[in-house]
Amino acid sequence: MQRLVAIVLLAAVDAGQCMQVVVDPSSGIVTPTFLSAEQQFYEQLAKPHYSASQMDYIDGASSSVLRHPYTILHAGLDELYVASFTLNHVVQLRWLSGKRAQYKVFASGKELDGPVGMALHGGALFIASFTNDMVLRVNATSGNLLGRIGSDETLDCPEGIAIGPDGVLYVASFLLPHLSRFDPESGAFLGKFGSAASSSAMWPNVPPASAPASGLPPPRKVPGPALRGAEDLVFDLNGDVHVSAYYSNAVFKFNGTSGQLVGAYGKGLVHGPVGITCDPSTGHIFVSSYRDHQVLRFSSNGQFVGVAAGAPLEQARQRGDRKAAIRNPSAVAFAEDGTLWVASYPTGAITRFNSSAASGRTWKVVD
């Protein structure tokens, strides 16, 4: 919670103080407020409608409707959902060409408080609502509310969500050391899943950032930390679960059937991991390293492959390469054509990268 407060306060300053942030001293809950003119703008914007708009976010320029994107979800080759954390809404984008897209505010309202993780299943869009400890289930076509899942007894600041191969809804809570399982239709709580409290986690030996993945020594058993600050989760091609943990500075892997901890990886490489996704073509795991302005690539066994996207911000600026700079990436997702999308939290930028670089080094921007 303290990390999120700091991020939101920083973003408010970056936005020229047009947004004020109120933090409850007892609970730490963050509530954004707007000046009257800006408030009226967002009220008009919240009316469901499609409209053509110049979306200048390929080069990192922010669009007001996409402020503080926390997660992105693909609904098709040229369509995606974006969860705007501080504006408390989910935006649906239909990509046209170049920098143009059609958009509408798809889901909003007082029950959607700090939207984060999203998942599609059975004609419904599931949205994690961070502040009020629930997952909202809405119609994926109309956006109408279908139901609520979870409570403060089963969730604690939910963030990442995913539908498993077993058809069950898995939820990662930022303040819990385990995942929670639910029936996606009835919302029934099915119990806890996975725990990294074990003191014998399998940690792959960490090579230098420039070292190739081949020739690494086998993993060794060393004491590992508990799952602290769970952000996002993804199932790999074998059905195992990978969870990014911000405060642990690592990714935890659990057996997808038993929930047993398989291992943890990325220690010393990822700093503040947030978003995580699986490449459907290779099975590799892509993790956004929030504090390093990079997306890192690992094998499903946790071996470091390379930097998939991004570069140190100052280094990119010195080269004059704006498109190489992604700032504090919060979300990563693959499209059906293998395109990698990356959302930058403080700037509102959503950048897409192609998959032409087989070495796993920095990719080129499509547009």
Q: How confident is the model at residue 203 (pLDDT cuts 50, 70, 90)?
A: very low
Residue from 73, 165, 78 nearest 120 by CA: 73
Q: How confident is the model at residue 80 (pLDDT cuts 50, 70, 90)?
A: confident
pLDDT for the residue 104:
79
**Do 227 and 243 touch, CB atoms closer than 8 A?**
yes
Q: How confident is the model at residue 38 (pLDDT cuts 50, 70, 90)?
A: very low
| pLDDT tops 80 at residue 127 | yes
Q: What letter represents residue 144's amino acid?
A: N
Distance between CA 160 and CA 152 in Å, rounded? 16
Provide the percentage of residues in the chain whose pLDDT is more than 70.
65
Whether the model pTM is above 0.85: no
The residue that leads in pLDDT, 361 or 110, is 110
What is the CATH architecture assignment of 53-353?
6 Propeller (2.120)
Distance between CA 18 and CA 327 in Å, rounded? 21
Q: What is the DSSP letter of 225?
A: -
Structure tokens at 295: 């997306």
Mean pLDDT of the chain: 75
Distance between CA 221 and CA 207 in Å, rounded? 16
Distance between CA 310 and CA 329 in Å, rounded? 9
Q: What letter represents residue 53's amino acid?
A: S
Distance between CA 110 and CA 99 in Å, rounded? 31
Domain range annotation of the chain:
1-44, 53-353
